[in-house]
Amino acid sequence: MHAIGESSVFPATEVQALIDALAARGYRVIGPVLHQGAIGLGEITDAAALPRGLRQAKTGGREVIRDAGDGAYFAHTVGPEAPKRYLHPAERRICRIERQGDELSIVAEPDAPPRYAFLGVRGCDLAGMAVLDRVLRDDRFRDPAYAARRADNLIIAVNCTEPGGTCFCASMGTGPRAGPGYDLALTELLGGGRHDFLAEVGTEAGAALLEELTCREPADADRAAADAALAEATANMGRRMPAADLKALLQDNREHPRWDDVAERCLTCANCTMVCPTCFCTTVTDTSDLEGEIAARWQHWDSCFTLDFSIVHGGSLRASARSRYRQWMTHKLADWHDQFGTSGCVGCGRCIAWCPVGIDITEEAAAIHAASQAGEGA
Q: Do the beta carbons of residue 277 and residue 128 sit within 8 Å?
A: yes
Q: Which residues contact 95 (CB under 8 A, 6 or more apart)?
A: 106, 107, 108, 109, 296, 297
Residue ranges per structural domain of the chain: 7-235, 246-373
CA–chain centroid gap for 312, Å, is 31
Predicted pLDDT of residue 192: 84
Sign (positive/negative) of CA torsion 201, 131, 279, 333? negative
Predicted pLDDT of residue 376: 67
Entry pTM: 0.93
How far CA 220 is from CA of 205, 216, 223, 343, in Å, comes to 26, 13, 5, 36
Q: What is the 3-state secondary structure (H, E, C) of 247-286?
A: HHHHHCCCCCCHHHHHHHHCCCCCHHHHHCCCCCCEEEEE
Q: Which residues contact 13 (CB under 8 A, 6 or more apart)?
A: none
Total count of residues recorded for the chain: 378
What is the rounded CA–CA span in Å between residue 151 and residue 104?
Answer: 33
Query: In what helix (H) or strand (E) does residue 196 lie, and over which residues does it extend?
Result: strand 194-201
Q: Do the beta carbons of residue 343 and residue 337 sit within 8 Å?
A: yes
The stretches in the chain having pLDDT less than 70 are 1, 111, 376-378
Q: Do the beta carbons of residue 119 and residue 16 sit within 8 Å?
A: no
Predicted pLDDT of residue 377: 57
How far CA 119 is from CA of 33, 229, 278, 318, in Å, comes to 11, 20, 19, 39
Q: Do the beta carbons of residue 352 and residue 343 sit within 8 Å?
A: no
Predicted pLDDT of residue 378: 57
Q: Do the beta carbons of residue 51 and residue 33 sit within 8 Å?
A: yes
Predicted pLDDT of residue 85: 95
HSE-CB at 248 with a 13 A cutoff on CA atoms is 6
What is the rounded CA–CA span in Å between residue 326 and residue 310?
Answer: 13
Q: Tell me the three state secondary structure of residue 323.
A: helix
Q: Tell me the three state secondary structure of residue 219.
A: coil
Q: Please report how the helices 321-330 and 258-265 are oriented relative to each other, as an axis angle in degrees rounded to 10.
A: 110
196 CB-contact burial (10 Å; exposed 0-12 / middle 13-18 / buried 19+): buried
How far CA 194 is from CA of 10, 70, 214, 222, 225, in Å, comes to 11, 11, 15, 11, 12
Q: Tell me the three state secondary structure of residue 300.
A: strand
- Hey, what long-range contacts does 315-323 have (CB within 8 A, 24 or more apart)? 320/263, 321/263, 321/266, 321/267, 321/268, 322/259, 322/260, 322/262, 322/263
